[in-house]
Structure 1
């Protein structure tokens, strides 16, 4: 599905400075760079990649690889304690190199990729304060972890900002997005989710990034 306007750059100028957590070959998240930018025209080559639409069971499963349409369950440590979540990566939106350059300095050869992930609070408690569960989301391109874009807009179409729901009730679901920079032309994408202590994260495989 093509976008008629660049989702990442639609905020009014000047865009807030973004920090890019660059990682090479699975490096740590805390390396950072700087970025500047402003509103931009449409990314004509931006695409959404979604898992194949075969009819698959949607019953929650444990860690590891997931079939298209399957959800997984796992625990994440929030301010109110460990919460069990049902999680499903819905799609990844891949942008263009021009968009990346307007967002991050020295972004040659990179494109932005945003994972849309739906989380359902399965209990045992209400999530109070700012939910951190989306911090467990990572995007891998051709087997390598991308660079997390810290400060990317949370109000992308179809995404929700955790600031807007500070009392996340049991049984309630929200779609939270995370944006990473990945190499242009990557042929395979994976969305991985899990607490830092999880030995076996949930993994969804998506069609190539084109």
Structure 2
């Protein structure tokens, strides 16, 4: 909205007096017009600054952008949103360590057919999840958001385990609880059987807001 001031002349002033007043005060009128132009320019600048501030993204909106990052083993990422059923919680995720096992121990456990694990190397990946805010999770499985690949980028699934497989040096029975509330956490262990001569490359955890956290494994 323009703030230019308009000069209104009273009709009751005689024309001759008006003419003399305008002639004698011509310099003042010029100065007044200049001041008015300056005031108008300042007002327009203020309007433009206000429009720019309104068009700029709010800090809260910027903070809602999905986050990402690369981490070393033992480093913690997050908080990041995790959704399960109707509940949303903020989690911190730490890929703690990766341990190589002995295939002879896996064979001795007798839980796999020998031909299925021939030429394979076992690895055990430990991941810690901490509930740091939000709603209580019931039967949530945040480990399902973890995706692990070989060094060539190809996806490798973890071994589905129920309970303790009894493998020396292997994953213990799962600590995954039925409920997880703020301030609580647990450590999950994933077992991988990968072809000899290959390496695990990285593991990525994806949040409900599409945030991605990557841990290098080699």
Maintained 8 Å contact 1:141/1:189: yes
2:88, 2:137 within 8 Å by CA — same for their partners in 1? no
Alignment match, 1:175: 187
Give the greater-gyration-radius structure (CA).
2
Q: Does the 8 A contact of 1:100 with 1:111 survive in 2? A: no
CA positional deviation for 1:114: 2.0
The CA deviation at 1:204 is 0.8
Q: Alignment partner for residue 130 of structure 2, among 113, 116, 120? A: 120
Is the 8 Å Cα contact of residues 71 and 88 (structure 1) preserved in structure 2?
Answer: yes
1:190: which partner in 2?
Answer: 202
In the other structure, the counterpart of 2:50 is: none
- Give the 3-state SS of the residue equivalent to 2:117 in structure 1: coil
Q: Cα offset for 1:95?
A: 2.0
**Partner of residue 66, structure 1:** 71
| CA displacement 1:109-140 (0-9 Å, x = unmatched) | 32222210011112211112x22101112332
In structure 2, distance between residues paired with 1:201 and 1:154: 30
Q: Unaligned regions of 5+ residues in structure 2, if any? A: 1-65
Residue of structure 2 aligned with 1:201, choices 182, 198, 212: 212
Whose helix proportion is higher, 1 or 2? 2
CA contact (8 A) 1:117 1:177 kept: yes
Contact 1:97 1:184 survives alignment (8 Å): no
**Does structure 1 residue 78 correspond to structure 2 residue 92?**
no
Q: CA deviation digits over 1:82-121, x for unaligned, max 9?
A: 2221001001122233455552552333222221001111
Residue 139 (1) aligns with residue 148 (2):
yes
Assess if the C-alpha contact under 8 Å between 2:164 and 2:171 holds in 1.
no
CA 1:187/1:178 → structure 2, altered by over 3 Å: closer, same or farther? closer
CA RMSD of aligned residues (A): 2.9
How many angstroms apart in 2 are the aligned matches of 1:62 and 1:184? 35
1:95 to 101, 124, 127: 101
Give the Cα separation in 1 of the matches to 2:94 and 2:106: 26
What is the aligned length? 143
TM-score of the two chains, using structure 1 as the length reference: 0.56
Output the CA distance in 2 between the equivalents of 1:77 and 1:154.
28
Aligned twin of 1:107: 117
Structure 1 stretches lacking a partner, 5+ long: 1-60
The superposition leaves residues 38-97 of structure 1 with CA deviations (integer Å, 9 ceiling, x where unpaired) of xxxxxxxxxxxxxxxxxxxxxxx9323124542112222213422221001001122233
Using the alignment, how far apart are the partners of 1:189 and 1:159 within structure 2? Answer: 25
| Matching residue within 137, 154, 161 for 2:175 | 161
